[in-house]
Amino acid sequence: MRFNRTTGAGTALINVMIAAAERAGRGLVRSFGEIETLQVAKKGPADFVSEADRRAEETLFRELSKARPNYGFLMEKRGAVPGEDTSNTWIVDPLDGTLNFLHGLPHFCVSVALERDGKICAGVIYEPISDQMFWAERGQGAFLNGRRLRVSRRRDMAKSVFATGIPFNDRESHALFLKELENVMAAAAGVRRFGAAALDLAYLAAGRYEGFWERGLNSWDIAAGVIIVREAGGFVSDFKGRDFALKTGEIVAANSDLHMPLRKLLSSAQ
């Protein structure tokens, strides 16, 4: 049974974001069913853009512009699109997990965040294959299909599972990543790599694992996830413990007990 968004979402802003994400997600599901016929352009190593990706971005641009015509955009494909309202900017990733999508792996999502006066005030992450809608608004908590989310309460690193992303834009960073991975694997119950940073953060907010780290990300990869994790009670920073993850593209996220131990493990790899 599909979740009735109108009974669980709350504010008009969140309803606008959910409706746009759902429409884009439906298009992705249709394209996913025809994956072999998609026109795919290769931009560079492990960096693919598909016809479905472009269509999803167009859908989000159209729907969000219709609802808030003066807001600006920061989008994966279009880049920055200034709006008359300089206080509000949509930060959009129409298809996070593109490589999964193009290989027929059903683990991808739509990510939409709203930045207001330099701070993320709302975020939506939609996993269309499973119809999971994660969302949060500053000060209002985080939710999954209307159910309140809280990060995991585990305190023991040895009983905890962490997620990460393997760097691919900078092959030279693999050596550092392998040291980080070795450190975390030695201390934790397990490490997972799913290939969609936005969903990694949404799953962290849902308590499905205890922490997440990755380098080399863009703001649209993590903007929505950052506020969802924080509203679920989690901590988010860059590798130095600062609130600069969106600027540096480096993120460490975990519950309050494991955030510092995870950062120390990562720092000791350098």
pLDDT (0 to 100) of residue 43: 59
pLDDT (0 to 100) of residue 270: 79
∠ Cα 195 201 202 (to 5°): 105
Sketch out the chain's domains with CATH numbers.
5-148 (3.30.540.10), 157-267 (3.40.190.80)
Which SS3 state, helix, strand or coil, does residue 149 take?
Answer: coil
| C-alpha distance from residue 5 to each of 27, 131, 140, 157 (Å) | 18, 11, 16, 36
Q: What is the pLDDT of residues 241-263, one digit of tens each?
A: 999 999 999 999 999 999 999 99
pLDDT (0 to 100) of residue 151: 98
For residue 200, how many C-alpha atoms fall within 13 Å in the half-sphere facing its CB?
A: 28
Query: With the C-alpha atoms ordered 38, 43, 48, 54, is the resulting torsion angle positive or negative?
Result: negative
Distance between CA atoms of residues 144 and 136, nearest Å? 9
Q: What is the pLDDT of residues 202-245, one digit of tens each?
A: 999 999 999 999 999 999 999 999 999 999 999 999 999 999 99
Beta strand pairing status for 119-127 and 132-137? antiparallel
User: Is there a contact between 20 and 63 (Cβ–Cβ < 8 Å)?
Assistant: yes
pLDDT (0 to 100) of residue 102: 87
Which SS3 state, helix, strand or coil, does residue 204 take?
Answer: helix
pLDDT (0 to 100) of residue 106: 95
Show the low-confidence residues of the chain (pLDDT under 70): 1-10, 36, 39, 42-49, 169-172
pLDDT (0 to 100) of residue 235: 97
pLDDT (0 to 100) of residue 175: 86
Question: Is this model's pTM higher than 0.85 or not?
Answer: yes
pLDDT (0 to 100) of residue 22: 98
pLDDT (0 to 100) of residue 9: 53
pLDDT (0 to 100) of residue 7: 43
